[in-house]
Amino acid sequence: MALSTNKVAKVFVHFVRNYSAETTKHYKVVVAGGGSGGLSIGARACRQFGVGNVAIIEPAKVHFYQPMWTLVGGGVKSFSQSGVPTQDILPRGCKPYNQYLQEFDPERNTVTLKNGEKLSYDYLVVALGIQINLNKVEGLEEALKHDKNVCTNYLSEYVVKTFPAIQDFRGGNAIFTFPNTPVKCAGAPQKIMYMAEDYWKKHGVKDKTKIFYNTSLGVIFGIPRYAASLMKVVERKGIILNKRQNLKAVDHAKKTATFDLLDSEKGETQTYHYDFLHVGPPQSGPDVLKNSSVPIVDETGFLDVDKNTCQHVKFPNIFGIGDCTNIPTAKTAAAVAACSGHLFRGIKDMEAGKKPSGTYNGYSSCPLITDYHHCILAEFAFDGQIYETFPLDQSKERRTMYHLKRDVMPQIYWHMFLKGYWNGPGTYRKIMHLGMCC
């Protein structure tokens, strides 16, 4: 009898240790966020550290290849082609947590999940992406829900509205917006505009249409070489470019969009009637990064990391990748790929008792689709330095680049990038330039 009580007690202790929400489970690497960056690093970590040593915290049931959403919005690809069940692409041997991360405690090397579970780590990789803030524009969420002429390629639930809205458009004012915040893929708000213009031209609607690009920026694109080419596209297509205008409110009952005129000293606004509205929504560092026992973000709300090694500036065993970091380059999947090798080398260096030796140069890229057959492939690094892969003038609109974007990049993403085998096109660039370039 005494023995069986002992056994019961042992089973109870085992249960409490392993299954209670209070138990802290330890991993060599915990990856917070299983999007593009999290899966790519998670795959490398699983190969390096073996089964059961890597946890990936990711609440989404479907993983989306977001760069495809421009093509979904343009009607070139179907929505279903852009996503796969997350569980099908998780790295083999990882321990998945289908949960939201809720709190960081970098001094104790732990994170807490929404269900109360705690995980501790040797290394934490933060890959939480950027947060979309629809609520920063008055009436936007209602308009997206209730007005078939209002859409955005930035969210899975609304990207499916874009192509039907383009097809449904019968002329009038078509407005495309770019917000006054950091964004992922700064080209996305204008790529869809160029595709829509092409569609409306082919379907005889263009003559009855005014197309507006209302951007909070003072330029069409941040890199002058590509901005010059894009300005020619804007002129050729007769697009009205309104700089320094930031979407403030949408009234879908009246079909109006109101913009702050950012250079107005009197705080003036301008209201437009719209018949079609594609919104580049306001974005920010994820709120959850602020739920930390000690600050891990900079003053802009993004994870504070070293731009070359991706290592946190205060906590050496924390690394950050992708859109949630303050690395000063364009927030793209291309940037995630290019820095992932440097980040992971840092973890291996630390395991060997050395300092991280990553030398990420800020490489990022943006395939700027200009119609249903052409694309300008912008490639650049920190401080706008040009890093073109092909030995030809990539600031020109080219059919080859369009096929690269539509047909080749998705294959690289699903089969190499997510498996942690793609560090960007650096090696190919060297080969194509016969070793005589960056």
Ligand X SMILES: Cc1cc2nc3c(=O)[nH]c(=O)nc-3n(C[C@H](O)[C@H](O)[C@H](O)COP(=O)(O)OP(=O)(O)OC[C@H]3O[C@@H](n4cnc5c(N)ncnc54)[C@H](O)[C@@H]3O)c2cc1C
Would you please indicate which residues are annotated as catalytic (active-site) residues?
Answer: 185, 366
Cβ-contact 56, 39 below 8 angstroms: yes
The reply on whether position 125 binds ligand X by CB under 6 A is no
Min dist. Cβ of residue 76 to ligand X (A): 13
Unique residue bearing structure tokens 């009197």 = 266
Judged by CB under 6 A, which of 91, 285, 322, 420 binds ligand X? 322
Q: Of 251 and 298, which CB lies nearer to ligand X in the complex structure?
A: 298
Residue with tokens 């913009």: 259
Under rule CB under 6 A, residue 338 binds ligand X: no
Give the Cα separation of 289 and 298 in Å (integer).
10
Phi, psi of 35 (to 5 degrees): -95, -145
- Of 3-11, 26-34, 46-54, 387-395, the segment contacting ligand X by CB under 6 A is 26-34
- Tell me if 100 contacts ligand X by CB under 6 A: yes
177 scored as a contact of ligand X (CB under 6 A):
no
Dmax (CA) of the chain: 91
- Minimum CB distance to ligand X, residue 167 (Å): 19
What is the phi/psi pair of residue 311, to 5°?
A: -85, 140
- Residue 332 lies near ligand X (rule: CB under 6 A): yes
Residue 402 — φ and ψ, nearest 5°? -65, -45
Kindly report the backbone phi and psi dihedral angles of residue 408, in degrees, each rounded to the nearest multiple of 5, phi listed first.
Answer: -90, -45
CB of 367 to ligand X, least distance (A): 5
What does the angle CA 255 – CA 261 – CA 266 come to, to the nearest 5 degrees? Answer: 120
CB of 80 to ligand X, least distance (A): 16
Q: Is 323 in the site for ligand X (CB under 6 A)?
A: yes
- Of residues 30, 90, 127, 310, which one binds ligand X by CB under 6 A? 127
Residue with smallest beta-carbon separation from ligand X: 35
Identify which of residues 412 and 432 has a Cβ nearer to ligand X in the complex. Answer: 412
Site pattern 49..78 for ligand X (x: CB under 6 A): --------xxxx-----xx-xx--------
Alpha carbon distance 267, 26 (integer Å): 53
Sorted by sequence, the CB contacts under 8 Å of residue 13 that are 6+ apart come out as none
What whole-number distance in Å separates Cα of residue 158 and Cα of residue 424?
29
Question: Among residues 44, 77, 184, 248, which is the contact residue for ligand X, using CB under 6 A?
Answer: 184
Structure tokens at 332: 């793209």
Contact call for residue 101 and ligand X (CB under 6 A):
yes
Smaller CB distance to ligand X: residue 69 or 344? Answer: 69
36 contacts ligand X (rule: CB under 6 A): yes
Least Cβ distance, residue 159 to ligand X (angstroms): 7
Residues 186-205 that bind ligand X (CB under 6 A): 188
What b-and-e string marks burial along 69-98, b requiring 16 or more CB atoms within 10 Å of the CB? bbbbbbbbbeeeebbeebeeebbebbbbbb
Nearer to ligand X, 34 or 282 (CB): 34
279 binds ligand X (CB under 6 A): no
Q: Establish if 275 lies at the interface with ligand X (CB under 6 A).
A: no
Q: How far is the CB of 263 from ligand X (least distance, A)?
A: 28
Of 206 and 221, CB closest to ligand X: 221
Among 139, 367, 410, 420, binds ligand X (CB under 6 A): 367
DSSP string covering 139-206: THHHHHHH-TTEE-TTSHHHHHHHHHHHHH--SEEEEEEE-SS--BSTTHHHHHHHHHHHHHHHTT-G
Among candidate residues 15, 24, 13, 14, the one with its CA nearest the CA of residue 113 = 24
Q: Is 163 in the site for ligand X (CB under 6 A)?
A: no
Binding site for ligand X (CB under 6 A): 32-38, 57-60, 66-67, 69-70, 100-101, 127-129, 153-154, 184-185, 188, 286, 288, 322-324, 331-334, 336, 367
